[in-house]
Amino acid sequence: MLIASWNVNSVRARIINIKSYLLKYKPDTLMMQEIKTEEVNFPYDEFSSLGYECHVFGQKSYNGVAIISKIKLYNTKIDLIKDKFNQSRIISADVKFKNKNIQLINIYTPNGNPVDTEKYEYKKKWLDDLIRQLKFSLKKNPYIILGGDFNIIPSSEDVYNAKSFEDDALFRLEIRKKLREMINLGFNDVYRHFNKTNVGYTFWDYMRGAWQKNNGMRIDHFLVSNSLIDKIESVNINKDPRGREKPSDHTPIEIKLA
């Protein structure tokens, strides 16, 4: 079972690239972030023609998350976090895999910049709410896969120039500690589980030739609960879509369940 996560930076603007990715790499399930559209305008038919069912929590022009899957999904939820700004940033669904009921949670964490503003306080509050929800969810189901655009750089090895990001909302120590708090609940950062030292970026800005210079950062993650980590066969950052014409500034990260 291949599960992918991808901040597509507008599902309608990237529909050709997304369909090309689906046809070439054939993920069973794709968790998308920043779809930037309301449910009514989501391209359901484009994906259903490829055999995917769609579960969408949209928002006009901004944010928005979706899970599309060739495997039947159950118990879809869009209310795991009470967001005071009513932003569409989290969706979950259950999938059955080898007699296990796995909860897939797809997130798009607030960016938080500029720091020392309401945007940064919102990010901290949103992450605190997510941590509380994860604690609750783990008590009900030990099999959880949390994926998405976390907008968190875990360590200096995960960004091309750590010094320049010291006071950025993606790399501030208190934000990195919140990611560590999630992991300490009983999760594994799957990329680091398989790659102890390798550099692997998932995002390259459109500006200043970042892609060509490989000036990237790793901000898209899969956290897998301890009870599932032995079922993860591999993890891959698929850079192919980032090099295509009119790409998202993110690229998919994929995990394969054995």
Topology, domain 2-257: Deoxyribonuclease I; Chain A (3.60.10)
Euclidean distance between CA atoms 257 and 61, whole angstroms: 34
pLDDT band at residue 21 using 50, 70 and 90 as cut-offs: very high
* pLDDT over 90 percentage in the chain: 98
- How many secondary structure helices (H) and strands (E) does the chain include? 6, 14
Structure tokens belonging to residue 194: 């398989």
* Residue entry with tokens 């797809």: 106
pLDDT band at residue 200 using 50, 70 and 90 as cut-offs: very high
pLDDT band at residue 154 using 50, 70 and 90 as cut-offs: very high
Euclidean distance between CA atoms 254 and 28, whole angstroms: 11
Q: What is the pLDDT of residue 211?
A: 98
**Rounded mean pLDDT of the chain?**
97
Report pLDDT digits (tens) over 52-91. 999 999 999 999 999 999 999 999 999 999 998 999 999 9
Report pLDDT digits (tens) over 90-130. 999 999 998 999 999 999 999 999 999 999 999 999 999 99
